[in-house]
Amino acid sequence: MGKRPVTLFTGQWADLTFEEICEKASSWGYDGLEIACWGDHMNLEMAAKDPKYVDERRRILEKHNLKCWAIGAHLMGQCVGDLYDVRLDGFAPASCGGSPEMIRAWGIEQMMYAPTAAKNMGCYTVTGFTGSPVWKFWYSFPQTTEKMVEDAYKEIVDLWTPIFDKFDAEGITFALEVHPTEIAFDYYTAERLLKAFNGRKTLGFNFDPSHLIWQGVKPHLFVRDFAERIYHVHMKDAAVTLDGRAGILGSMMTFGDTRRGWNFRSLGHGDVDFEEIIRELNNIGYSGPLSVEWEDSGMEREFGAKEAADFVRKVDFEPSNVAFDDAMKS
């Protein structure tokens, strides 16, 4: 199988220019980037339409000995399927602010550009979110009816089917990050989403253990059970720190507040068992990138990003090609 490439997701680094994050990621030892489609890192429309723009992005990558296997369109995808509130205004252009219809239309337009942009960049998948019309009703009081849930899944299918048709036309997959706020946020909602799309192969998962561990879902079992749908992997850690005061829902405290019941942590500093994950990835034959999504409000980020790259290389062992007891023969 060989060692998997170690990449850095640039979403949390969009305050830097594309050139700057390329220079830093290369110096930290990364093989490539999962390029976020915000800041100045990737303009989906230009990447879909302008060969000169694509050449310029690829030239910068090559200058720093980096490659790109995936682009991330999380913010755009969220605008497609989410039930509007004012927070979405920050994801779409200012001209769309306050208009749910304009925000959704912009999100759909961007996601239509995404597979062409990915193909032009030489990528095989687009990672991202779908949004959810029903996430805000996850706690059933007032009662969330089964019809509300069923209608939400149908709405997502209706919204995303034309987008997935474009993905299929370009030969690109969509790797949904199973994540709170999404229509698929845990094991069973992910399973339900695949069924809603009748097993359509366009849709798979951007596996991220940090969003599963604090919910009580064992990440390695997610990999095992959804083996054929693991299209991309985020390496990201989280620590559950319930102390008898904090609850698992975060207590309306910002990430990084040490009183919270859980927080994202730099790789190796949380509770995710990455060895079990690597064993399962080896078992399913996953050979794609291991993409570091670096989030830790309690650690200096450049120190953390470099340490994370080293951590991934250390933990990513190859499977054995022999049985350990084969030589025990007379």
Three-state secondary structure along the chain? CCCCCEEEECHHHCCCCHHHHHHHHHHCCCCEEEEECCCCCCCHHHHHHCHHHHHHHHHHHHHCCCEEEEEECHHHHHHHHCCCCHHHHHCCCHHHCCCHHHHHHHHHHHHHHHHHHHHHCCCCEEEECCCCCCHHHCCCCCCCCHHHHHHHHHHHHHHHHHHHHHHHHHCCEEEECCCCCCCCCCHHHHHHHHHHCCCCCCEEEEECCHHHHCCCCCHHHHHHHCHHHEEEEEECEEEECCCCCCCCCCCCCCCCCCCCCEEEECCCCCCCCHHHHHHHHHHHCCCCCEEECCCCCCCCHHHHHHHHHHHHHHHCCCCCCCCCCCCCCC
The predicted pLDDT at position 327 comes to 85
* CATH code of the domain occupying 6-315: 3.20.20.150
User: How, if at all, do strands 237-240 and 230-235 pair?
Assistant: unpaired
The predicted pLDDT at position 229 comes to 98
CA–CA gap between residue 127 and residue 112 (Å, rounded): 14
The predicted pLDDT at position 329 comes to 86
The predicted pLDDT at position 323 comes to 87
CA–CA gap between residue 273 and residue 271 (Å, rounded): 6
**Is the distance from CB of 58 to CB of 122 less than 8 angstroms?**
yes
Please tell me whether the overall predicted TM-score, pTM, comes out greater than 0.95 for this model. yes
The predicted pLDDT at position 1 comes to 56
The predicted pLDDT at position 324 comes to 86
Residue-level pLDDT, tens digit, the chain, 330 residues: 568 999 999 999 999 999 999 999 999 999 999 999 999 999 999 999 999 999 999 999 999 999 999 999 999 999 999 999 999 999 999 999 999 999 999 999 999 999 999 999 999 999 999 999 999 999 999 999 999 999 999 999 999 999 999 999 999 999 999 999 999 999 999 999 999 999 999 999 999 999 999 999 999 999 999 999 999 999 999 999 999 999 999 999 999 999 999 999 999 999 999 999 999 999 999 999 999 999 999 999 999 999 999 999 999 999 988 888 888 888
Q: How many other CB atoms are found less than 10 A from the CB of residue 40?
A: 12
> Domain map of the chain by residue range?
6-315
Largest pairwise CA distance in the chain: 78
